Structure 1
Amino acid sequence: MSKSPGSLPTYENYRDSGVECYGSVPAHWETLANKYIFDLKKNLVGKNSSRYTLLSLTLGGIIKRDMENPEGKFPADFNTYQKVTPGDFVFCLFDVEETPRTIGLSSLHGMITGAYTVFRPRKKFDEEYLQYLYLSLDSGKRLRFLYKGLRNTIPKEVFLAFKSLNPPIQEQKLISRFLSVKTAQIDQAIQTKERQIELIKERKQILTQQVVTRGLDPLAPMRKSDIEWISEIPAHWETVRLKYLFKEINERSKTGEETLLSLRMELGLVPHDDVSDKAISNDSLVDYKIVRPGQMVMNRMRAAIGIFGVSFRIGLVSPDYAIFDINERANSSFFLRLFKLPLLGTQFRLGSKGLGTGSSGFMRLYTEEFGNIKVAVPPLGEQLEILHFIDSTSERMDNACILLEQQITKLKEYKVTLINSAVTGKIKVPGVVEPDSGERLPLLAG
């Protein structure tokens, strides 16, 4: 798996395929019009839709639709949905350029929207090879030359006239088996690295929570806390309600000319124009709240998931946000780390009022409830020491995550390249015996 596709053997003889998206292919491979490969199906479920499982075409293939937690729109009835059986190909032949995945090979019985096109490959073709071929074409959106109209549609008759690559059937099977093994290995490697990223992030969160609630010195004397959500704290730390550290400020813009700021989970407070193309006039910003450098901003409706930020410039934020001046005993960056912890998120959620539950609905954390939450406060110097420890440790962990993400990206790129190279004959997979040039098979119709 560590080899690049270019390091694998190639065929001895190639020819021009005559099809734009394939280029040169092994000399003994055919190209064959899809009308000789696929049979069009259009079997509607009609009034029997209740007997069928609803299916969806996704990046992960064709899956059962989650009806317990449904998302998206549903029709008034499913009478126009069509039957799908294992071995059927489902194609989305419209909005091809914009749709993340437009092809799937079903392993399920069920029904799918009538807007899609369902084909059944004939028995003398390997369905797994065809799946890999069209996944490769779809991942690169390499059928653009077939698009018609503003919606980038491939008409059925155009698709059926399009020529697929058709290696000898035994070769198709060898290619699909090779790719099945190799892509499974790649997917497993990706999953392992994704899990490593999750573990690093969990460790980072646990470590941050530990030091902001218990300090850096494991030998420091501890005392029982009078805070419900912390059992013990260092003996020299104070317990203080947030209202004694954070004072709400309500300064409003009279002109709307100040820079509009957007509050984001990862980025904090950033200029709105940096994260959105939506133009907003100064007139519509009149009476927005002014935030000044060093002040903290809280999104009342999303405080429970840590949507806080500290401003480094003068700007405007939503009137529904809360803006606080920070007491000199509190370091803004230290408390920003504290407020983003799930431990505090639970307290913010419990203190929120309104309609809905959790972070959904219209739950708001009002200033009074925010101010009544009690926290453990180390001396200012110790806050800075803890902050420095968090930043230095986080940097190492973040760099490790970045490296893993880069490796994941390379693995995904390798997978795409490997599939394309195998299905178009740019590499010769193990087990393939290339015929002598004089033994080239006769071309079939198409």
Structure 2
Amino acid sequence: MENRYDRYKDSGIAWIGVIPEHWEVRKGKNIFKKEERPVRDFDEIVTCFRNGEVTLRSNRRIDGFTNAVKEIGYQGVRKGDLVIHNMDAFAGAIGVSDSDGKSTPVYSICTPRNDTEANTYYYAYLLRSYALGGVIQSLAKGIRERSTDFRYKEFGELFYQQPPLAEQQAIADYLDRRCSEIDELIALQEEMITKLQSYKQSVITEAVTRGLDKNVPLKDSGIDWIGKIPEHWNCTAFKRLLLEPMQYGANEPAEECDYNNPRYIRITDIKEDRTLRDDTFKSLPLEKAKDYILSKGDLLFARSGATVGKTFLYNEDNAACFAGYLIKAKCNKKKLVPNFVFYYTLSNIYQNWKNSIFIQSTIQNIGADKYSSMPIIVPPLAEQQAIADYLDQRCSEIDELIALKQQKIEKLKEYKKSLIFECVTGKRKVS
């Protein structure tokens, strides 16, 4: 490894291993003390996030947060404090506050016992590195019954590396700079993924609303949010193209995992790329599943919650049934190609329709009645198939590009994680 120190020694702590010869090892309670400051009237709430950011809640838009009626046990936080989320530290919720404010008792607020011995930014990097590497969780199992509970008492009893203060500062500064550069590269890849996803949606929308012939005459569809469509296409209610009324899924809890029984598909099983998760497999006994068995080409629509409108095209070889928060549509394949409809639900036109439904209701819920009445553009059957085949090819190409970007992001994240670990533990010398 490049930039190693000249000499190393055994730290005397099995899970720490060797450290640079001039570094020390000390318990957390001998490096930091826990603060218990009073709260001031003007203090705003400080929140610690899993990415290590510690900032005022007002600095970030956070859905789902509500202020407590009584702020019991709140404590003062100052800029530069080391903040540890007692219940979420294992996931990386450790950092240095960028603001003065107040926090709930779920946080341990720590400051150095001696400013000439400890740099909070270095120790934030060190603690987060151990947390994301599973060290805190594995060690905490032997300390408390709850493996994710990491209060000041636990923090204080563990041993940590202690380089000279100037070296701590140099490591923190180096990591700030390098991590910022890596984060910029990650953000660039994420921006490119967003653009590719937007382009993919535009390709889908263009194909399902205008077809593959750019010179075909157009006509007004009669619906504002659809606009013009090819002259020989029709626009009708979805229910007129189905073999049977749309069906709600089984109202059964997901309990067993028996691969000999039909898979029980729930909203949470459907990933953003519209494939099924492998790690959430649940099944239903055939007796309970028999009325909800899926056939190839069946479409599932999510009917409520944050995922309302999400769709899934069932083309699996293994038997499956579906849960109550999903609604099944069985296309009349003499009139409608299921894959064409699936792509239709990925288009901007479908999003426009969903938005028009939500405008009419304060609750984001789309039932079978609304899905059945959904206007849908209908090309001739052969043209539907040609469009679906074309989109299979084009979307596959775009998805491959997206996958490459995602792989780059994962490699960058792994490199960042490795770089931090090597620097804070003395495996790499920062000059």
TM-score, length of structure 1 as denominator length: 0.80
Matched ranges for 1:16-415 at <5 A? 16-45=10-39, 51-60=42-51, 61-65=53-57, 70-71=63-64, 75-93=68-86, 99-121=90-112, 122-124=114-116, 125-143=118-136, 144-145=138-139, 147-152=142-147, 153-154=149-150, 156-157=152-153, 159-249=155-245, 259=262, 261-262=264-265, 264=267, 265-266=270-271, 275-277=280-282, 280=284, 288-301=291-304, 305-310=309-314, 315-318=320-323, 321-351=327-357, 356-357=362-363, 360=364, 363-367=365-369, 369-415=370-416
Cα distance, 1:344 vs structure 2: 1.5
- Matched residue of 2:244: which SS? strand
Look up the match of 1:419.
420
- Matched residue of 2:427: which SS? coil
> Is the contact made by 2:262 and 2:285 (CA closer than 8 Å) also made in structure 1?
no
Cα distance, 1:334 vs structure 2: 0.6
Cα distance, 1:306 vs structure 2: 3.3
| More displaced stretch, 239-248 vs 175-184 | 239-248
- Matched residue of 1:172: which SS? helix
> Is the contact made by 2:297 and 2:313 (CA closer than 8 Å) also made in structure 1?
no
Which residue identity does 1:329 align to in structure 2? K
Look up the match of 2:256.
none
- 1:13 aligns to 2:13 (yes or no): no
Cα distance, 1:16 vs structure 2: 1.1
The alpha-carbon distance between structure 1 residues 244 and 415, as it changes in their structure 2 partners (threshold 3 A), is same
Which residue identity does 2:299 align to in structure 1? M
Identity of aligned residues (%): 24
Give the distance between the partners of 1:151 and 1:95, measured in 2 at CA. 12
Give the distance between the partners of 1:220 and 1:212, measured in 2 at CA. 14
| More displaced stretch, 78-87 vs 288-297 | 288-297
| More displaced stretch, 403-412 vs 15-24 | 15-24
Query: May I ask how many residue pairs the two structures share in their alignment?
Result: 410
Give the distance between the partners of 1:273 and 1:142, measured in 2 at CA. 27
Cα distance, 1:421 vs structure 2: 0.9
Give the distance between the partners of 1:291 and 1:231, measured in 2 at CA. 34
Q: C-alpha deviations, 1:40-61, integer Å up to 9, x for none?
A: 211243xx5x532112221132
The alpha-carbon distance between structure 1 residues 219 and 119, as it changes in their structure 2 partners (threshold 3 A), is same
> Is the contact made by 2:238 and 2:374 (CA closer than 8 Å) also made in structure 1?
yes
The alpha-carbon distance between structure 1 residues 164 and 382, as it changes in their structure 2 partners (threshold 3 A), is same
Q: C-alpha deviations, 1:243-292, integer Å up to 9, x for none?
A: 332243478999x998354154447696x997344x65566658x54544
> Is the contact made by 2:83 and 2:108 (CA closer than 8 Å) also made in structure 1?
yes
Which residue identity does 1:374 align to in structure 2? P
The alpha-carbon distance between structure 1 residues 252 and 54, as it changes in their structure 2 partners (threshold 3 A), is closer
Give the distance between the partners of 2:46 and 2:297, measured in 1 at CA. 52
Q: C-alpha deviations, 1:357-414, integer Å up to 9, x for none?
A: 3xx3xx33333x4444433322222222211211111111111111111111111111
Give the distance between the partners of 1:248 and 1:273, measured in 2 at CA. 30
> Is the contact made by 2:78 and 2:99 (CA closer than 8 Å) also made in structure 1?
yes
Give the distance between the partners of 1:379 and 1:59, measured in 2 at CA. 51
Which residue identity does 1:42 align to in structure 2? E
Largest Rg, 1 or 2: 1
> Is the contact made by 1:44 and 1:79 (CA closer than 8 Å) also made in structure 2?
no
The alpha-carbon distance between structure 1 residues 413 and 232, as it changes in their structure 2 partners (threshold 3 A), is same
> Is the contact made by 2:77 and 2:100 (CA closer than 8 Å) also made in structure 1?
yes
Which runs of 5 or more structure 1 residues have no equivalent in the other structure?
1-5, 431-446
TM-score, length of structure 2 as denominator length: 0.83
The alpha-carbon distance between structure 1 residues 352 and 285, as it changes in their structure 2 partners (threshold 3 A), is farther
Cα distance, 1:415 vs structure 2: 0.7
> Is the contact made by 1:95 and 1:151 (CA closer than 8 Å) also made in structure 2?
no
> Is the contact made by 2:111 and 2:120 (CA closer than 8 Å) also made in structure 1?
no
The alpha-carbon distance between structure 1 residues 350 and 76, as it changes in their structure 2 partners (threshold 3 A), is same
> Is the contact made by 2:261 and 2:284 (CA closer than 8 Å) also made in structure 1?
no
> Is the contact made by 2:5 and 2:426 (CA closer than 8 Å) also made in structure 1?
yes
Q: C-alpha deviations, 1:164-214, integer Å up to 9, x for none?
A: 322222222221111111110011111111111111111000110001101
| More displaced stretch, 133-142 vs 185-194 | 133-142
Which residue identity does 1:356 align to in structure 2? T
Cα distance, 1:300 vs structure 2: 4.0
RMSD: 3.4
The alpha-carbon distance between structure 1 residues 155 and 178, as it changes in their structure 2 partners (threshold 3 A), is closer
The alpha-carbon distance between structure 1 residues 283 and 82, as it changes in their structure 2 partners (threshold 3 A), is farther
Give the distance between the partners of 1:261 and 1:227, measured in 2 at CA. 37
Q: C-alpha deviations, 1:210-262, integer Å up to 9, x for none?
A: 011011122223333333323322223233332332243478999x9983541
Larger relative contact order, structure 1 or 2 (CA cutoff 8 Å, min sep 6): 1
- Matched residue of 1:364: which SS? coil
The alpha-carbon distance between structure 1 residues 183 and 381, as it changes in their structure 2 partners (threshold 3 A), is same
> Is the contact made by 1:306 and 1:345 (CA closer than 8 Å) also made in structure 2?
no
Which residue identity does 1:148 align to in structure 2? I
